[in-house]
A = this chain, B = another copy of it.
């Protein structure tokens, strides 16, 4: 229970900090624009509450790393708010790009306010994220703020590059496994890696420690994505909250699917014929498993998980925070032991 007891006060502080930053956009005559941001963050509107807010994993990871470097986590709060706001900016724009009507069980921003206002709300969230990061100059130092901001820009560019690939892949039928890693490196791993590095940088850790945490974050992100891709096809719908085989129905170019396409067998032949119907999804999932995609994905996830935990060890996390950090990693990677 180290993680739960340790993260309680951190999550409260994260939420306070996020509200403070977003409140900067609440000005006379602009109440509805602020509402769009507060709605997306899960604080206002129909269905607001903890469920709508998400788990705040990224800022939590950042603060735990800071604390595991034997420093107070409080000065790192502006960076923690910044990474969560950046994540949410990308979600607002992702929902437009994917035409998703729902997120966490609620209408998405574009569905409620239209595409034009949603693009703009995402842009505002992005600006707020950047603002928050620069406030490290007050809590720590000018140098730390500048390093943080620079890393943040590189991360954002990587996010857009991963997103570009994801969108470009939709139209392509000739993809192999090689296509997977550049996409998820940008879409998922870059930000989680930056969270871990920023936590260490905010604790003024040595560069070898910062590098180890950065590697840990990257591998954690990749392992998490591989597992998520497995659950997207063979997950228990009751546990994942998605319908079974949902990634087959949406046509997502996930790791098991790319493995299957590379086999050029019955799965690939069916995939080439167009959208999968709910009726045939269970059979196709079984076929994909038979071709070895499930084992392959599990192996990749296991390998990355081992590497992530090794990188964490290399970073030498300290004290209660260090234990909580390891627990968080194991929890995210589905290992209870």
Contact = CB atoms under 8 A, between A and B. Distances in A.
Interface of A: 24-25, 27, 29-30, 32-33, 93, 96-98, 115-117, 119-124, 126-128, 130-131, 134, 137, 142-143, 145-146, 149-150, 153-154, 156-157, 159-161, 163-165, 167-168, 182
A89 B97 CA distance: 17
Given A29-B182, A161-B25, A96 B116 contact: yes
B167 A150 contact: no
A335 B51 CA distance: 59
A117 B167 contact: yes
Contacts of A98: 116
Give the number of times this chain occurs in the complex, counting copies.
Answer: 2
13 contacts: A24-B157, A29-B165, A33-B164, A96-B115, A96-B119, A97-B119, A117-B164, A119-B119, A119-B122, A120-B160, A127-B160, A128-B153, A142-B146
Given A146-B137, A164-B33, A97 B120 contact: yes
Contacts of A146: 134, 137, 142, 145-146
Contacts of A27: 161
Contacts of A29: 165, 182
Q: Which 8 A-B pairs have the closest CB atoms?
A: A97-B116, A124-B160, A127-B156, A33-B164, A131-B153, A127-B157, A130-B153, A123-B160
A55 B131 CA distance: 29
Nearest to A129: B153
Given A137-B146, A157-B128, A115 B115 contact: yes
